[in-house]
Structure 1
Amino acid sequence: MSVPPSSSQAPAPAGPGTRLVIYTVLIGAKEALNNPLSVLPAGAGSDLVLDFVCLTDNPELRSPVWRCVPIDESHLAPEKASRRAKAMPDAYFPDAAYSLYIDNTVTFKRLPQSADLHTRQVDAEGRAFVFRAFKHSRHTHLHQEAGAIAMLGYDDVATVCRQLDAYAQQGPLAEITPLTTGTVLLRSHQAPVVRHFGRLWWESILAYSKRDQLSLDMARRRAGIEIDYFPGITRDNEFLHWQGSLSPERLRASFDARRYAWQHRDDPEAVANPRRHALAHGRGGEPQYQCRTELLEYLCWQHRASLGAQVSPRRGLAGALEGLMRPWRRDGQRVLVVRLTDVPDALGFSAAELDAASHALVQFFGPGSRTDVLDVGFDDLASAGRVFALPQGGAYPVLIALGVPAAKLQAATQKLARLQPRNAGLFVAVLAGSASLDEARAAEALMADVTGSPTRSSLGPAHHDSLADPVPNALVALAWGAPST
């Protein structure tokens, strides 16, 4: 449960000789311990008493800079455990009034001074406190932060969507702005309002995403805290240097330990501790060991599209669609989304579903692509005399048809195939119902005949909240040639 602000007094104003705990947290095999003083100018000093502390689960860790303090958070996953101390320094440094958290990717351009602790911030009861950080360098709203998490594979998208749904029940997500980066946090951590913030933040990290920047500013708002932002951003300021999170010497946040262990299943050390093994062999950033991205799943949630598994009737197709479309996702790609309207089928797409799905698909391919949307009525599909001519802009290598009646799969393939190139393309039909294997084979043969190229077919099931069982063969994909790079 959240702990409200206590009646304890805020720390006395800081001045020369004040103790400042500078700390980082290193739990689990992820990276080597950084030296934050490695680029500090010769003769640099501070009027504060600086105590460098690394909280770690490795009792053998040693450093010429850090005082390594072992902690036992083995009841938590490493990704969560490292955030607990980040959120609640008062629980780890009860004898200090001020703390400066820094990620293990930070080095100082200058040392902190007592002037950095001066603030005019006061809580609702008029008590002074210190809370300083950097604004996010790119994102101003939670949709941007969540989209980046999904695109980079940094966390499970279902968890992220559940988190934002909970936040949206408390108020408009657009009002949670600006966003704060959690790379550097300077706090008078014994101040009641700061302690309250820390517990709210930790509870959200524990309940939802391990990506703490997704919850930091919601916790700040709920605690009623304002942040005194440092000038600049983490990549450009006079205080410190941030090395970035994609160093080959560290595991990426998207590292998939289970995938790594499987791919090295003949190596007992890799199976026993895949993180440590990957770090030792410099493999933490290699693409084949990263989590699969779920960008389309997130975009379906954001646009309230039923193609994903978050918004009813939850067709559960986003993962399969992303796997099919990802190789074709590039700048300049021409994409056509065909929406079948007025389909007399209980599993057909409503107008609202079609609109939301097309928005998600357009955003998935990005602003660098040319994505067009074409509405086709059921009668147009059924009419033998109605044909579609190739537009002046040229063929569409990617075509996604939404809501195709299963019985009209061959007719849709025949009419729409003329809009695609002959050498290479992807045709995806999301059906309003289930196709038979004979219907899928007929569509494959027809596409091979039209393009003159060997055609590969894929079939996949869908779900629907009106049904207890999956809908077999509700996704039919035909591909020929290879995507251009």
Structure 2
Amino acid sequence: MKLCVYTVSLGGYDRLLEQPVANASEADFICFTDDPDLTSETWEIVHVTPRFPQDLHRSSRVFKILGDERLAPYDVTICVDASVELRATPERIAADWLTPEVDLALAPHSFREKVIDEFDEVVRLKYDDPARVYEQLNDYALSYPEVLGAQPHWGGFLVRRNTPAVADAMRLWFDQVLRYSRRDQLSLMMPLTVTGLRWRAVDVDNFESEYHRWPVIGERKVALGKARSQPYGPMLAELRRNERRIRELEAEVARLSAEPVQELRETIDHFSRELAASTEVNRQLEARVMSVQREVWERDVMLREADSIAGSAKTLRRNVVRRIRSTLQRR
């Protein structure tokens, strides 16, 4: 079995770790990097050009997920993050992890229960643009709800056979990373859930096991793992649209002669006069309405006073009649 361990180091995000177990192994150790000055005692340094120069995170996923043509001769590859230190030889890892009936093996996430929890954590830690993360979450909720409810798995330690089934699943995984969030653990379970790939979860702790230790960090450039501080959006395209609009307006102004401009001014004056006349008419109508309302109010007051006087007269008349009757009865 031809075996290779490989890692990716672009932009100097992590200082490259030496792998002492390489001295006890027949496997090849390859580091894909864009650093022309990087050297190592245990890794074979392979210089590459990032596919997306302004997106080193996705550029590194090209190698992590899809691999490279230099890996084609190998029967099994072990991809580890640059901050993973191996404690067991690649031969033992491949024998223990890749049982005959599976083509891929990886570890479950040690401290996340469901994939949907990983979405929330990526937004909280500002690892990617929330709009992109929530779009992926919404799309998965509609198309792959079973993925969101699945237990997440750790992508920092992948053991894979070189088979067409693995290649197809990895292509689907990388498509998700290109279309949605660059955080590959959000989409890792999608190809593992919806394809027929034969895979296995190896129950080891993500941080430390008999096979590895993680993270072993030195001189990490944390900012490279965060989302950009400025808002995402096609700012250059917007600037270009504004430049074209300015030129259109300048050309339109240049085409205008004095006569059309004067006509426009006369039209504006005409509408201004009509507006002023309309305003005066409105003012007169409002004054008339107020006058009528006051007249109605005054008449209403007079009617209420008349009703009050009539009521008082009626009461007085009843009292007079009552007194006259009382006087006659006493006689």
- The interval holding the TM-score normalised by the smaller chain is 0.5 to 0.7
1:45 maps onto 2:15 in alignment: no
Give the secondary-structure state (helix, strand or coil) at the position aligned to 1:182.
coil
- Superposition pairs for residues 47-86 of structure 1, below 5 Å? 49-76=26-53, 77-86=55-64
Cα RMSD, aligned residues only: 2.6
1:120 maps onto 2:100 in alignment: yes
In structure 2, the CA distance between the partners of 1:117 and 1:257, relative to structure 1 (3 Å rule), is: closer
* CA distance, structure 2, for counterparts of residue 87 and residue 199 of structure 1: 8
Match of 1:251 among 221, 224, 238: 221
Match of 2:163 among 191, 198, 212: 191
> Quick check: 1:140–1:179 contact (8 Å CA) kept in 2?
yes
Match of 1:28 among 11, 28, 31: 11
Of Structure 1 and Structure 2, which has the larger fraction of its residues in strand? 1
Code of the aligned partner of 2:122: I
Q: 1:66-102: CA deviations, max 9, x gaps? A: 1011112243510100011111126441111210000
Give the secondary-structure state (helix, strand or coil) at the position aligned to 2:121.
helix
Aligned length: 228
Match of 2:103 among 121, 127, 130: 130
Match of 2:135 among 162, 167, 174: 162
In structure 2, the CA distance between the partners of 1:168 and 1:66, relative to structure 1 (3 Å rule), is: same
Percent of matched pairs sharing the same residue: 29
In structure 2, the CA distance between the partners of 1:223 and 1:149, relative to structure 1 (3 Å rule), is: same
Give the secondary-structure state (helix, strand or coil) at the position aligned to 1:23.
strand
Q: Please state how far the C-alpha of 1:173 moved relative to its aligned partner.
A: 4.4
Q: 1:190-231: CA deviations, max 9, x gaps? A: 211101111001111111111110010012122222432223
- Superposition pairs for residues 274-285 of structure 1, below 5 Å? none
Code of the aligned partner of 2:220: R
Higher RCO structure, 1 or 2 (CA under 8 Å, sep 6+): 2
Q: Please state how far the C-alpha of 1:44 moved relative to its aligned partner.
A: 7.6
Q: Please state how far the C-alpha of 1:248 moved relative to its aligned partner.
A: 6.3
1:202 maps onto 2:174 in alignment: yes
Give the secondary-structure state (helix, strand or coil) at the position aligned to 1:79.
helix
> Quick check: 1:27–1:78 contact (8 Å CA) kept in 2?
yes
> Quick check: 2:98–2:159 contact (8 Å CA) kept in 1?
no
TM-score (norm 1): 0.44
> Quick check: 1:176–1:218 contact (8 Å CA) kept in 2?
no
- Superposition pairs for residues 303-452 of structure 1, below 5 Å? none
Stretches of structure 2 lacking an aligned partner (at least 5 in a row): 232-331
Code of the aligned partner of 1:64: E
Code of the aligned partner of 1:228: R
Give the secondary-structure state (helix, strand or coil) at the position aligned to 2:40.
coil
Partner residue, 2:2: 19
TM-score (norm 2): 0.63
Moved more, 87-96 or 209-218: 87-96
Give the secondary-structure state (helix, strand or coil) at the position aligned to 1:113.
helix
* CA distance, structure 2, for counterparts of residue 258 and residue 216 of structure 1: 23
Give the secondary-structure state (helix, strand or coil) at the position aligned to 1:181.
coil
In structure 2, the CA distance between the partners of 1:113 and 1:151, relative to structure 1 (3 Å rule), is: same
In structure 2, the CA distance between the partners of 1:55 and 1:221, relative to structure 1 (3 Å rule), is: same
1:224 maps onto 2:196 in alignment: yes
Give the secondary-structure state (helix, strand or coil) at the position aligned to 1:101.
strand
* CA distance, structure 2, for counterparts of residue 163 and residue 203 of structure 1: 12
In structure 2, the CA distance between the partners of 1:68 and 1:136, relative to structure 1 (3 Å rule), is: same
In structure 2, the CA distance between the partners of 1:20 and 1:248, relative to structure 1 (3 Å rule), is: closer
Give the secondary-structure state (helix, strand or coil) at the position aligned to 1:87.
helix
Q: 1:287-322: CA deviations, max 9, x gaps? A: xxxx99xxxxxxxxxxxxxxxxxxxxxxxxxxxxxx
Partner residue, 1:152: 125
Give the secondary-structure state (helix, strand or coil) at the position aligned to 2:24.
coil
1:89 maps onto 2:67 in alignment: yes
Of Structure 1 and Structure 2, which has the larger fraction of its residues in helix? 2
> Quick check: 2:61–2:174 contact (8 Å CA) kept in 1?
yes
Q: Could you say which structure has the larger radius of gyration?
A: 2
In structure 2, the CA distance between the partners of 1:256 and 1:109, relative to structure 1 (3 Å rule), is: closer
> Quick check: 2:105–2:158 contact (8 Å CA) kept in 1?
yes
> Quick check: 1:44–1:110 contact (8 Å CA) kept in 2?
no
Q: 1:307-358: CA deviations, max 9, x gaps? A: xxxxxxxxxxxxxxxxxxxxxxxxxxxxxxxxxxxxxxxxxxxxxxxxxxxx
> Quick check: 1:152–1:254 contact (8 Å CA) kept in 2?
no
Q: Please state how far the C-alpha of 1:256 moved relative to its aligned partner.
A: 5.7
